[in-house]
């Protein structure tokens, strides 16, 4: 009975880790898209100006 519980617990932990990693990949993709949009907006610039779109 105990080995079965350990296997089930391990399966739950791996499922949780997989879900968390998938969510992190989704967040990383969104941040990449925002960064690329900012890069394009900066290079075109309003009024012909070129500047930074962020303050880092």
**pLDDT value at position 30?**
92
**pLDDT value at position 48?**
53
Sign of CA dihedral 37, 43, 44, 50: positive
Structural domain contains residue 18: yes
Structural domain contains residue 8: yes
Structural domain contains residue 53: no
Structural domain contains residue 31: yes
Q: What is the pTM of this model?
A: 0.56
- Residue 42: how many other CB atoms lie within 10 Å: 15
Domain limits at 4? 1-38
pLDDT tens, residue by residue, 6-42: 888 888 888 888 888 888 889 999 999 988 887 777 7
Query: In total, how many domains does the chain have?
Result: 1
Structural domain contains residue 22: yes
Structural domain contains residue 5: yes
- Whole-number Å distance between alpha carbons of 11 and 36: 37
Structural domain contains residue 27: yes
DSSP character at residue 18? H
| Residue with tokens 């791996």, as numbered in its chain | 14
**pLDDT value at position 14?**
86
């Amino acid at each position: 009975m105990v080995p079965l519980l350990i296997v089930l617990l391990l399966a739950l932990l791996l499922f949780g880790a997989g879900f968390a990693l998938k969510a992190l990949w989704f967040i990383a993709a969104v941040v990449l898209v925002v960064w690329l949009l900012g890069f394009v907006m900066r290079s075109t610039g309003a009024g012909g100006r070129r500047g930074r779109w962020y303050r880092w």
